[in-house]
Amino acid sequence: MIILGIDPGYATIGFGLIQSERNTLQLLQYGAITTPAGTDFSCRLRTIYDDMTKLLETFRPDALSIEELFFGHNVTTGIGVAHGRGVILLAAAQQNVPIFEYKPAQVKQAVCGYGKAEKRQVMEMTRRLLQLEAVPKPDDAADAIALALCHARSSTSLLSGQNWRG
């Protein structure tokens, strides 16, 4: 199964693509979609949509794993992220890629075995699970890889169907 993990945003959108076969995990590709500050917001959303569509068409993932939104203290930023996340979901739906949504604690639990793990612990476990020499950069890409790993580990669960939106 090829899984595309996405760390949503509007300035930097991390992505990580892994292949999961039985007990074997392999990192295929990772990186970030970026949009320049100062660019009209609708143009930023178009760039995200176009780049996401290109990613989906190029790699043809079997599943997209994306973080659920959490509105903390900065609601204004959260609204922008929600817009970016919306065009990502649209691109995946148009390509008929099943979408699976995970809360940050679910990602931490799946990758580290502890739902309150710190960010550095998640990054280190991501590196170890994929047998990488270093933690992938930027951090948004590392977070996206962790989301893909979360789905790889969760998709074997008897409860795996509960997160799917398609």
* Active site residue ranges: 7, 67, 140
What tokens does 14 get? 């991390």
What is the spatial distance between Cα 30 and Cα 42, in angstroms, rounded to a whole number?
25
Give CA separation, 108 vs 9, 102, 126, 143, 153, in Å. 19, 10, 10, 10, 12
Give CA separation, 116 vs 103, 119, 124, in Å. 12, 9, 15
CA geometry: angle at 78 spanning 93 and 54, to 5°?
Answer: 35
What is the spatial distance between Cα 149 and Cα 141, in angstroms, rounded to a whole number?
12
Helices (H), 95-164: 104-112, 119-129, 139-154
CA-based radius of gyration for the chain: 15
Nearest Cα neighbor of 10 from 2, 21, 30, 38 is: 38
